[in-house]
């Protein structure tokens, strides 16, 4: 165990499966249970056999020693066994002497396949070394690990080939030939049973739920009830008031084009002042419409009994949404990865759609959507993965022509960097590592969470005024303004100072943060700089120049 301790102490910091605690004499049992749950779940997600809780060591890996005795350890083990679900405890605890000090290594087993570990009914996880709730996505990953069950592959024994649409089957055959052009003539000779088996839409001639979804007659949707094979298209005006709607059912392979035809895909004409721009383009690229719709069909969680929604707004905004969590780690991970996802919610359905030329499993579909929007200088696709749904919004116009043109003229920016800058512009959060990377390249400024586009980008994009408003001025500028005010009028109240500089503070700060900044500036002037002093009360301040300042 000494070798294990030495290896853990060489880590640059704690991580998802290693936690150091001083615990010189004891450790809080409730906190212990939370860390046990988190470390066990993370060990499962990291595909490691166990995690480690190390007692008697500080976060910086300094050994401080612990005198926790065997009776205490037994209490901890019993407490864990009583309040974890499934019931688990330390696989092993062992004392290790190092440099004359005692360290206790607690070996925590990985959560069992398909069973996230909870502590007192709550599931915990880690982001780096931070303790928090296990995310819905991570919970689903563990829960589904040993599930051989695939909703879309289940056979409907009461259904027959007669319950499928002949029109849909013929269209599916054309799509299949498109994927297998060399065998086109042979495929045309197959009967429908043979074709559907070869395309892996049916199983040995038996009708599957995937077959009903993709090829079923509209009246055949009862075979999959209470799940729904429905897509709703809704048209709203710019104020989000509903103006029109339509509903589409199976066969979904045909519904995709029907929904696409409903979308009022107008032409967008640029104000042509740069050779980079075409004369006009479709507001919504046909590929993006098909890709978004087919992704909704393939990844919908049909056990939640929801429908797919397509909301079109007259101000050139299109939103697609489906029920169920986003299985990949993040949209950014999908874009950066060169490989397809290793796991699908509906693998049988996804494979059938691949064979019928509806989706692409190379993982490039979402990335291509981002590239299409970028080349048109339109805002990038905006994903909302909250509330156990996947929602993507596509904007079919340039929001800021000057910004779009100038940003496009920065050729060194990668797609990943443009995605992050797009988030900054939309006031969305980014990770510490992402922010660090953008700062190193001088693309953003500010402090977490109030980042803003840097002066270098603002200069190129013509957004200098916006940059100054977001960044504000240095504290010395505000101090000089306050001193000048007091020289002019003899004194300044709290209200006077607020009216003087509140609106000049960085626009990325909310009102409360602006008030805190003013308080800090005034405190620095009175206590550190000693340029002003309070002749009023603590509640009703009246600030005047200090004696030393008056002398100057």
Half-sphere exposure of residue 337, counting CA atoms within 13 Å on the CB side? 16
DSSP label at 117?
-
Give the pLDDT band of residue 105 (cuts 50, 70, 90). Answer: very high
Looking at residue 57, its pLDDT comes to 93
pLDDT for 459 beyond 70:
no
* Highest mean pLDDT out of 87-101, 119-133, 242-256, 466-480: 242-256
CB burial of residue 438 (10 Å; 0-12, 13-18, 19+): buried
Residues 24 and 67 in one domain: yes
Task: Please work out, in degrees rounded to the nearest 5, the angle formed at the alpha carbon of residue 195 by the alpha carbons of 183 and 255.
Answer: 105
Residues 177 and 282 in one domain: no
With 0.75 as the threshold, say if the pTM is over it: no
CB burial of residue 528 (10 Å; 0-12, 13-18, 19+): exposed
Looking at residue 349, its pLDDT comes to 95
Alpha-carbon distance of 2 to 103, in angstroms, equals: 10
Residues 380 and 440 in one domain: no
In 3D space, the residue among 94, 124, 122, 91 whose CA is nearest the CA of residue 108 turns out to be 91
Alpha-carbon distance of 38 to 130, in angstroms, equals: 10
pLDDT for 460 beyond 50:
no
Contacts of 312 (CB under 8 A, 6+ apart): 233, 234, 235, 236, 263, 264, 318, 319
Alpha-carbon distance of 383 to 344, in angstroms, equals: 19
Looking at residue 411, its pLDDT comes to 63
Give the pLDDT band of residue 406 (cuts 50, 70, 90). Answer: low
Alpha-carbon distance of 455 to 458, in angstroms, equals: 5
Looking at residue 276, its pLDDT comes to 63
Question: What percentage of the chain's residues is helix, strand, coil (to nearest 5)?
Answer: 45, 20, 35
DSSP label at 318?
E
Token couple for 261: 């035809």
Q: By mean pLDDT, which of 173-182, 233-242, 466-475 is the weakest?
A: 466-475
CB burial of residue 186 (10 Å; 0-12, 13-18, 19+): exposed
Residues 237 and 385 in one domain: yes
Mean pLDDT of 473-485: 85
Mean pLDDT of 229-257: 95
pLDDT for 467 beyond 70:
no
Burial letters 214-235, b for 16+ CB under 10 A, else e: bbbbeebbebbeebbbbbebbb
Residues 418 and 364 in one domain: no
Residues 360 and 323 in one domain: yes
Between 529 and 509, residue with greater pLDDT = 529
Looking at residue 156, its pLDDT comes to 95
Mean pLDDT of 290-307: 93
Centre a 10 Å sphere on the Cβ of residue 38 and count the other Cβ atoms it contains: 27
H/E stretch holding 459 reads helix 455-461
Alpha-carbon distance of 63 to 53, in angstroms, equals: 14
For 472-541, where are the alpha helices, taking DSSP H only? 475-489, 494-501, 511-523
Question: Could you report the per-residue pLDDT of 345-385, keeping only the tens digit for each?
Answer: 899 999 999 999 998 755 578 888 998 988 888 889 999 98
Per-residue CA distances from 433 to 134, 399, 436 (Å): 21, 28, 5
Mean pLDDT of 518-531: 91
Looking at residue 400, its pLDDT comes to 67
Give the pLDDT band of residue 343 (cuts 50, 70, 90). Answer: low
Mean pLDDT of 278-301: 91
**Number of folded domains that form the chain:** 5
Domain endpoint, select from 183, 198, 224: 224
Above pLDDT 70, what percent of the chain?
A: 89
Domain endpoint, select from 166, 198, 224: 224
Mean pLDDT of 62-84: 93
Between 522 and 429, residue with greater pLDDT = 522
Residues 240 and 337 in one domain: yes
Give the pLDDT band of residue 471 (cuts 50, 70, 90). Answer: low
Looking at residue 122, its pLDDT comes to 93
φ, ψ at 497 (rounded to 5°): -65, -40
| Structural domain range at position 210 | 151-224
- Please state, rounded to an integer, the average pLDDT across all residues of the chain: 87
Looking at residue 316, its pLDDT comes to 93
* Highest mean pLDDT out of 91-100, 307-316, 385-394: 307-316
Per-residue CA distances from 284 to 260, 264, 341, 550 (Å): 10, 9, 26, 66
Looking at residue 288, its pLDDT comes to 95
Alpha-carbon distance of 349 to 209, in angstroms, equals: 8
pLDDT for 294 beyond 90:
yes
Between 163 and 363, residue with greater pLDDT = 163
Domain harbouring 299, CATH code: 3.30.565.60
Alpha-carbon distance of 545 to 550, in angstroms, equals: 6
Residues 246 and 324 in one domain: yes
DSSP helix/strand/coil, 391: strand
Give the pLDDT band of residue 29 (cuts 50, 70, 90). Answer: very high
Residues 449 and 504 in one domain: no
Give the pLDDT band of residue 73 (cuts 50, 70, 90). Answer: very high
Mean pLDDT of 245-251: 97
Domain harbouring 526, CATH code: 1.10.10
Residues 37 and 111 in one domain: yes
Domain endpoint, select from 118, 143, 168: 143
Q: By mean pLDDT, which of 72-86, 127-141, 297-311 is the weakest?
A: 127-141
Q: Find the radius of gyration of the CA atoms of the chain.
A: 31
Above pLDDT 90, what percent of the chain?
A: 53
Residues 26 and 125 in one domain: yes
Residues 161 and 282 in one domain: no
Q: By mean pLDDT, which of 223-237, 333-347, 460-474 is the weakest?
A: 460-474
Per-residue CA distances from 75 to 79, 102, 108, 530 (Å): 6, 19, 16, 57
């Amino acid at each position: 165990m000494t070798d294990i301790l030495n290896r853990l102490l060489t880590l640059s910091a704690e991580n998802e499966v290693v936690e150091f605690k001083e615990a010189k004499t004891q450790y809080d049992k409730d906190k212990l249970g939370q860390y046990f749950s988190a470390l066990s779940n993370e060990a499962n997600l990291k595909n490691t056999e166990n995690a480690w809780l190390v007692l008697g060591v500080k976060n910086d890996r300094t050994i401080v020693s612990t005198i926790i005795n065997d009776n205490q350890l037994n209490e901890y083990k019993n407490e864990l066994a009583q309040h974890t679900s499934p019931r688990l405890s330390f696989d092993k605890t062992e004392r290790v002497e190092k440099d004359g000090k005692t360290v206790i290594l607690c070996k925590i087993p990985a959560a069992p396949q398909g069973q996230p570990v909870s502590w007192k009914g709550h599931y915990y996880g880690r982001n780096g070394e931070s303790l928090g709730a296990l995310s819905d996505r991570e919970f689903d990953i563990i829960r589904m690990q040993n599930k051989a069950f695939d909703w879309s592959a289940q056979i409907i024994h009461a259904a027959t080939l007669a319950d499928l649409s002949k029109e849909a089957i013929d269209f599916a055959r054309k799509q299949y030939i498109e994927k297998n052009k060399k065998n086109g003539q042979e495929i045309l000779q197959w009967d429908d049973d043979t074709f559907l088996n070869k395309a892996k839409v049916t199983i040995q001639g038996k009708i599957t739920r995937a077959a009903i979804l993709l090829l079923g007659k509209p009246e055949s949707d009862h075979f999959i009830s209470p799940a729904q094979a429905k897509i709703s298209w809704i048209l709203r005006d710019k104020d989000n008031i509903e103006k029109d709607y339509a509903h589409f059912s199976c066969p979904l392979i045909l519904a995709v084009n029907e929904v696409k035809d409903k979308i009022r895909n107008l032409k967008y004409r640029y104000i042509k002042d740069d050779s980079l721009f075409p004369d006009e383009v479709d507001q919504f690229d046909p590929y993006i419409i098909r890709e978004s719709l087919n992704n909704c069909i393939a990844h919908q969680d049909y056990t939640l009994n929801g429908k797919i929604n397509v909301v079109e707004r007259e101000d050139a905004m299109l939103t697609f949404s489906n029920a169920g969590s986003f299985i990949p780690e993040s949209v950014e991970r999908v874009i950066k990865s060169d490989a397809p996802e290793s796991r699908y919610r509906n693998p049988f359905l996804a494979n059938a759609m691949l064979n019928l030329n509806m989706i692409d499993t190379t993982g490039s579909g979402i990335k291509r959507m981002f590239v299409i929007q970028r080349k048109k200088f339109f805002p990038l696709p905006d994903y909302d993965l909250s509330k156990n749904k996947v929602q993507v919004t596509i904007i079919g116009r340039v929001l800021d022509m000057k910004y779009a043109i100038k940003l496009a003229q920065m050729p060194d920016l990668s797609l990943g960097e443009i995605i992050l800058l797009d988030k900054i512009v939309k006031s969305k959060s980014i990770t510490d590592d992402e922010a660090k990377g953008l700062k190193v390249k001088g693309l953003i400024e500010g402090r977490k969470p109030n980042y803003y586009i840097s002066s270098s980008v603002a200069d190129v994009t013509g957004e200098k005024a916006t940059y100054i408003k977001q960044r504000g001025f240095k504290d010395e500028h505000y101090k000089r303004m306050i001193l000048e005010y007091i020289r002019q009028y003899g004194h300044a109240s709290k209200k006077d100072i607020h009216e003087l500089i509140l609106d000049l503070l960085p626009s990325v700060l909310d009102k409360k943060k602006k008030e805190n900044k003013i308080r800090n500036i005034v405190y620095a002037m009175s206590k550190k700089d000693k340029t002003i002093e309070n002749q009023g009360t603590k509640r009703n301040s009246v600030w005047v120049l200090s004696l030393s300042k008056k002398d100057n």
